[in-house]
Amino acid sequence: MDKARIDAFLPLAPAKLHILLALTGGKLHGYGIMQKVLRQSEARYKLGPGTLYDNLQRLMKQSLVEEGGSLQDRDSRRRYYRLSSLGQGVLSPEIARLEGVVREARLRRVPQQPRRA
Amino acid sequence: MDKARIDAFLPLAPAKLHILLALTGGKLHGYGIMQKVLRQSEARYKLGPGTLYDNLQRLMKQSLVEEGGSLQDRDSRRRYYRLSSLGQGVLSPEIARLEGVVREARLRRVPQQPRRA
DNA sequence: TGACAATGTGTCGGAATCGGATATAACGAA
DNA sequence: TTCGTTATATCCGATTCCGACACATTGTCA
C-alpha cells in the first residue's frame, strides 16, 4: 500500500486519465486508444496524435503503462500497451476524486444536464 | 441556447473547473477561492496563487466570471468574483462530462475507493 | 507599542501539458 | 495500382500549471 508513491501522480492530467481508462478494458495499440477514448467519452474528449504518443511515452517511463507484447498480430505496425498494476492503483483514487467533484457540484445544485444517447 | 459558444470552452482545464465550482456558492475573493477549493476537494486539489490569479484573469476575459462589487468590506484588499450565467452554462455540461467518465470507470470495474471522512 | 502570523493580491519564469500539422509507411479493397 | 484508412511518430507553438517571491494589510498578543 504505497500511498505516497501513488499520491505523487495525482491529480492525473486529463489525457492520462483517459488513456488509462481506455486501457482498463485490456491491451490496446495507440490508434485503438484514440478511437476508444472518443467512443467512451461520446466524442466529448478528443485525443490527437501529439497528445497521445507524448503521453504514452511518459506513462511508460512512469510505469503506469507497460508494453504488451504484440502477439501474432495481423498488422505489423501496431504496438500494444496495457495498464500496469501501478496504473490501476493510480486510476482508482483519481476516479474517487472525480466522484467527489461531481458530488460537490450536485450538492451545489449545478443544473443537471440530460444524458445523451 | 448557445451550444456552440459553450462547447468551445469544453473540456474545462482542471483549475478552471475548480474555480467555477467554488463560485457556485456565491461570490468570493481570490484567497477565499483558494481555501474553498482545498476544502471542497478534501485537500486533493491544491490551487496555488500562480494558477489561481492567472486563471481568474483568463476567466474574466472569457466572461465566465465577473467582478462582483466589493460592497463595504472590512478588508480593502479583497477583490470579489462571481460566476456569470455563461460560466454556469459551461460548468453544467462539464459536470455531465465528468459524470460520464466516472460512470464509464465504474462499468469497467475500476476498484472502488472508500470515501474519506 | 511593536512584532509576527495570517490574510490578500499579484508577477515571474520554468516545467508540464496539449494539440494540430506534418511525415512516413503498411494495410485493404476496388 | 491507386486510394482511403490505419498506424506510429515527431515537431513546435500555445496553453496551462505551479512554486517562489514580492509586497501590503489586517488581526493578535505580549
What angle, rounded to 10 degrees, do the helices at B85-107 and B14-23 form? 120
Q: What is the mean pLDDT of chain A?
A: 93
- Cβ-defined contact of B101 to A42 (cutoff 8 Å): no
DSSP assignment letter at A22: H
CB A18 within 8 A of CB A94: no
pLDDT bucket at B70, cuts 50 / 70 / 90: low
**What pLDDT was estimated at residue B112?**
80
pTM: 0.94
Predicted pLDDT of residue A16: 98
How far is it, in rounded angstroms, from Cα B86 to Cα A84? 41
- How far does Cα A4 stand from its chain's mean position? 21
Mean pLDDT across B78-83: 96
User: Which of the four pLDDT bands, split at 50, 70 and 90, describes residue B76?
Assistant: confident
Strands B65-67, A80-83: pairing is unpaired
Residue B71: which pLDDT band, with cuts at 50, 70 and 90?
low
**Under 8 Å between Cβ of A20 and A10:** no
Task: Tell me how many degrees the CA angle B67-B22-A37 measures, rounded to the nearest 5.
Answer: 115
Helix pair angle (B85-107, A14-23), 10° resolution:
30
A34-77 confidence digits (pLDDT tens): 999 999 999 999 999 999 999 999 999 999 999 987 666 778 88
pLDDT, tens digit (0-9, with 9 covering 90-100), for B51-65:
999 999 999 999 999
pLDDT (mean) for B16-26: 97
Mutate to test the interface with A, among B7, B24, B101 (most CBs of A within 10 A): B101
Q: CA of B12, closest CA in chain A: separation in Å?
A: 10
Residue B67, SS3? strand
At A23, the pLDDT band (50, 70, 90 cuts) reads very high
* DSSP annotation of B65: E
Q: Where are the alpha helices (DSSP H) in chain B?
A: 3-7, 14-23, 30-40, 49-61, 85-107
Pairwise CB contact (< 8 Å): B92 & A101: no
Asked whether the predicted pLDDT for residue A12 surpasses 90, the reply is yes
pLDDT reported for residue B2: 82
CA-CA distance, A99 to A97, in Å (whole number)?
5
A115 has a chain B CB within 8 A of its CB: yes
pLDDT tens-digit profile of A88-100?
999 999 999 999 9
**pLDDT at residue B14, rounded to an integer:** 98
Share of chain B above pLDDT 90, in %: 79
Query: How many other C-beta atoms are found inside a 10 Å radius of the C-beta of residue A109?
Result: 8
- Nearest Cα neighbor of B57 from B2, B103, B106, B16 is B16
Taking CB atoms and an 8 Å cutoff, what residues of chain A touch B38?
none
C-alpha B83 chain-centroid distance: 9
Average pLDDT over residues B34-43: 96
Task: Show residues of chain B in contact with A101, CB under 8 Å.
Answer: 17-18, 21, 41, 95, 98
Closest CA-bearing residue to C1' of C7: B31
Please determine, for residue B44, whether its predicted confidence score (pLDDT) is greater than 80: yes
Q: Which of residues 55-74 of A touch strand C (CB under 7 A)?
A: 55, 58, 74
Tell me phi and psi for residue B77, to 5 degrees: -80, -25
